[in-house]
Structures are given as structure tokens and as C-alpha cells.
Structure 1
């Protein structure tokens, strides 16, 4: 079981830096201040100043939550564990709980460690009478392990959860994720930076004005949407440099995947439970 964790879940060096993430300046600064610096200097950040043991990254899909988790591990020199609900569930009764205990045991041995849980809502969703017994037991064990990490100042383990559905997260899990950071859609400057980054190794005729126009035309697009748009624009029939018209044609095929209602729900949840009650960057700037 430990061998499986080390082969499938453990990543010694993700190698992702802040420069690989377009925009999200507030989120980057917040993560550095509340997580990375305390992990780098545990001798200074002690007691009440110690780093949080749980960080929840929530917001629309495709906004860079996974990359932030990897960057935390890179910047703090920590071992990175990436897990999902499917990697912990087993058809055999009791195997899921053993896997959870083994995960935290390996994380302790390899500390400092960052345990990143993608789609944490699917693993720690609100408990109900309709839950399968195996699922309920895994949730309970995970919460117990989270409590163990939270109660120990010596254990240098950070739990980072990412979710597109923060409303579905179990209340007990939400309470243990002490810091909750909203990761919004990229603003215009971030979208332009992302397009520039994606086009850096492609032959194109895009000038600065074209890049600004693309950024303006993609308001409401997530980072994943912008990447899909660039991929679509690159699929022109003739082998020639990519131009602004290719992007305009691609815009007819690739639309924004996040609705205004979804954004409103995220902002509302952030105002109620978020650690930093800020609005979506672009909507607040408008």
C-alpha cells in the first residue's frame, strides 16, 4: 500500500513556479504570506503565528487551483502528494481507511509535505443517510487524520483542497480548512499574458494590439477556456503563421464555460465563508 502511494500519488518535485501561473496576483501573495513563508521558517512562525494546516482553493474550473497547490510544494521545498476520491476508494471494506492512514504516515515521513486533494467535495461531501458505509468510513478517517495534523504544531503537513463546488463540502471538512481562498477567472491582463505564453513557441503574426483584442474578446473565459481557444486557433488548414482572424474564427467554436450565475454563487459563498472577502477581479474592476 505504501509502495502504491509512493508510485501513484507522491511527486518529489513538481517544478512549478509562480511564473507559470498567469494573473492571480492577490491569490499568489496571500498564499506566500499565509502558507509558504511559515513553512520555510518554522522557527519564526510558531504558536498562533504558525502556518494553517488546511487551505481550501475554490472557484470556477480551469483557473489554476492545481498549479497553485504544486507551486506551494515547489516554493516551500515540500513533498507533493496529489490525490482524488478514486485513488482512496476500494471495493474492499476497510481498505479505504487503511489507504488514508498510510497516506498521512508517508506524508509525515517525507515532511514537510503538501497533500493536494483535487475535487475535495467528491471525497468530503456533506454526509447523508444515503451514503455507502465504505464512503462514510473513509470520510470519518480522513477527518480524524486532519484533526491529528491540526493538533500538532510539530507536524509540517499542509492539506490543500481544490473544489468547483464549495457549497457541497461537508461542514466538518470546511471547518478544518482554516483558510479558504477564492480563485477567480483571469482578468484581461492575465488572459493576454496566458495567450502570449501559449503562443511563444508557435509561428504567429499577432502584434500587441491583437493580443489586447483577444483578451478583450475573451471576458468570462477561464484559463482552460483560453487554452482551448488557442488550440482551436492553431488548427488552420494551411501551414502559415497564426493570425487574429484565426482567433476570431475560433471564438465561434470555443465559448466561455462558466456562467454569470456560477460566478455570483462563488462570490456569495466567498463573502460568507472565505478568508478574503474579495469580489471577482474583473467584475470588481468594471
Structure 2
């Protein structure tokens, strides 16, 4: 390379920028501008951080100063209270009197906030008024007082009796819930036949209520009445009639009402039952126990201890040494298995009435009573025929037969959705004859013979 060529060539060595490269120089200028902006941003960030740090330090110092001032004022208040507790000097200067008046004025301002009854506290231990908490507490007090008033109103008057002191209120409430409501009326006319049973119940329950002065001493009525016989003959209905017609307080008790899964609760329930009956404000109380054989079965060596204690307590409460012979409490038991009742319980049921199957006249009356609100075409002769054909039927069997015969006109309908009620045909004798094929007598002759034998041995009639 000659000297002229070297002079004319562009100089690019040693990192120097040629003069004919203006774009490259502008690029470096842009980099310098960016660097300067980044440095300025960093500087601004540092300044803002320093400002926020100084602000936080000022806040902390101000908070510390306020707390210190509050503590100092509290200490001064304590000192002032101590000074007030000490005997005051009657000789004071004008400035001392002014300071004392100022302290009393400030103290009077602080008392309302401290006596608000709120548990919230501010800095320095001073109480502050919380209106929401005070309103909540007042509402709770009102609710509590209203609840107590309702409980006092709902509380039964028998709990005021001294004899109820040893009875748990929970058990007494369970016994009171078993009282049968007298809104469901069952009269003596609803029971077909059983004239001797009705007469016995009238002598034991109704007549003593009408003329109590005639039934006392040796003439006082029996305290136990046992109704036994085949199932479905009207034993439970007699109990309902006692509740409706006699006007007595009727306790409808079952075995589940007196038993419990806890040991010792069963005999307590039995005691609560008789105590509630004695304290109840009524002239006559009737305790009706359906299926009494499940509760008072014969005692044996294989009995469970809890079951034995329940039986013993029941027998003691029925006829124990501490019972008043003049109290008007009648225990009525109904059972289908009288031979399984314990001997001591059998002795306490002085009246043992056999409720047999209905006779022809009673069955005819039952059919007539069951069809009185239904449209039928049965003549008196048809009723006599059905009374003869239902020999050996119990009362529940006769009711099932009438219900089955009443479905005869419904089964004869072709389109039940569009038929008019007035167009449904009446119940006929053919419907009863068809129902006899589906409804049979439920009591066998062998069972009837057992009832008759037990009645001859232990029955009252």
C-alpha cells in the first residue's frame, strides 16, 4: 500500500469513529441520554425512600410522645387521687385552689366514659363507650327475662305441690304429654253390646263422680280394672269412652312410656306417673295401659333386674303401704294374654272383665253404624243375613268386612277419573257376599276356649 492510498483510506483503527459515520455517533448519543435518565430515576427513588423513612420515623416519634403524655397524665391523675384521699389542707393559695378546681372539672368529664359498662379500653387503660355492646347486652337481658316469664306461664300448677319435690321435672313433663285429649269423642252408644262391661265401668268411674258421698269406706270403688279377651273386641274403645264420657283425666300409657335404656330410669318413671296423677287437679284420674301383659308379666328367675324393679315399683304404687285408700285413681289394663300377667298384679286388678266376641245383635248394630254415612241398598233383612254370616267375627273383623264391601261400587267403575259421585251405585248385599271371601274371622275356637277357662277361674262375670 502506497502512502497516497493510506491517506485516502478511512481510519477505523484504535476504536476511532470515522467522520463519514454520523449514524453511529447518534447511537452513542442516545445511549448517553438513556444512562442519564436512569441515573435521575434512581436519584428520585432514593429521595422518595428517604422521605418515607423520615415520615415513618416522625410518626413513631409522635406516637411515642403521645403515649408518654398519656402515661404522664395518668400518673398525674393517680397522684391527684392520692392527694384527694389525703386530708385536705384548709389553708390554700389562690393558684392551688384553681388547680384543684381544674382537676375536679377534668375528673367529672372522665367519669361518664368510665361508667358506661363497656369492656373496651383505649390507650392508657381508660374505658370508652361502646353503644353496640350496651344495646346487645340490654337485648340479651330482655330476651332472658321474657323467656323466664314464658317458662313461668307454661309451668304446670302441679309443680307447686310439695309431693313433686322429689320428682324430676323432665319425667313429669313426659307423663303430662301422655294425657289423652278429650276432643276425640267416643260415647257408650258407639260401643255395640257389652252391656255388663259398660255397667261395671259406670259403677267404678261414673257413679263415684256423680255422688262421691255414697262411695266411701267399704263401698269405695276398685282401683284396678282389667279388660281381657280376644283382639279387636273393643277393649281400647272402652278406655276411650271412659275418657270421653266420665270426664276424668285420662293418662294413656304404654310400655314404651315407662321404660328407658338407662338403669334406674324405669322405676322413676313409674313413680312419677302415680305422683303426677295424685297431684293433678281433678276429681278422678284414670291410668289406661294398653297391652299391660308386656309390662306386668310373671316374675321369674330369668328376669332382667331392671324389668323386675319396674314391676315391683308398679305394684307398690298401685297398692302399697303408703297409699291413701280414699284417693280416686283407677288403673285400667287391657290385654289379649291374661294368663301371662303376674299373680300380684292380677290381685290388684280387682275387677277382671271378659270382653267376648260380639253376638248377633251387636254385629248387626256394628254394620248399621258403619254404613250410616254411606249410600247402600241393604234392607233390615239383609242386615240380619249378614249378622248370621259373620258369626265368630270380632269387632275389627266386622269393620274390615264393611270397608271391603264399600270398595265394590268403586271396582265396578269403568273410568274413575270422569265419573260423577252421584252416579256411583250404592253398596249392595252382593258386595258383602263378595267381601266375605276375602275377610275371614281372625280368632280361632281354641283361643276362645282359653279365654273362657281363664274367665271361669279368675273373671268377675
| Cα drift, residue 130 of structure 1 | 2.0
Q: Which residues of 2 match residues 49-198 of structure 1 at below 5 A? A: 49-110=219-280, 111=282, 112-148=284-320, 151-198=323-370
Name structure 2 gaps, 5 residues minimum: 1-170, 413-423
Q: Secondary structure at the match of 1:201?
A: coil
Q: Which residues of 2 match residues 12-27 of structure 1 at below 5 A? A: 12-13=181-182, 15-27=185-197
Q: What do the CA deviations read for 1:210-261 (whole angstroms, capped 9, x no partner)? A: 1111111001111011011111111220342111111111111111111111
| Cα drift, residue 150 of structure 1 | 9.5
| Cα drift, residue 69 of structure 1 | 1.8
Q: Aligned pair in 2 of structure 1 residues 70, 40: CA closer, same or farther (>3 Å)?
A: farther
Contact 2:220/2:326 (<8 A) preserved: no
Contact 1:149/1:157 (<8 A) preserved: no
Contact 2:203/2:221 (<8 A) preserved: no
User: Is the counterpart of residue 44 in structure 1 residue 214 in structure 2?
Assistant: yes
CA distance in 2, matches of 1:30, 1:4: 31
CA distance in 1, matches of 2:457, 2:209: 28
The corresponding residue for 2:447 is 262
Corresponding residue pairs, total: 275
Q: Aligned pair in 2 of structure 1 residues 96, 216: CA closer, same or farther (>3 Å)?
A: same
| Cα drift, residue 20 of structure 1 | 1.2
The corresponding residue for 2:180 is 11
Structure ID, larger Rg: 2
Name structure 1 gaps, 5 residues minimum: 277-286
**TM-score scaled by length of structure 1:** 0.91
Q: Aligned pair in 2 of structure 1 residues 83, 66: CA closer, same or farther (>3 Å)?
A: same
Q: Aligned pair in 2 of structure 1 residues 188, 181: CA closer, same or farther (>3 Å)?
A: same
Greater per-residue helix proportion: 2
CA distance in 1, matches of 2:239, 2:304: 30
More contact order relative to length (CA 8 Å, sep ≥ 6): 1
CA RMSD in angstroms, aligned pairs only: 1.6
The corresponding residue for 1:33 is 203
Contact 1:181/1:274 (<8 A) preserved: yes
Greater per-residue strand proportion: 1
Q: What do the CA deviations read for 1:170-195 (whole angstroms, capped 9, x no partner)? A: 00000000111111111111111011
CA distance in 2, matches of 1:39, 1:123: 29
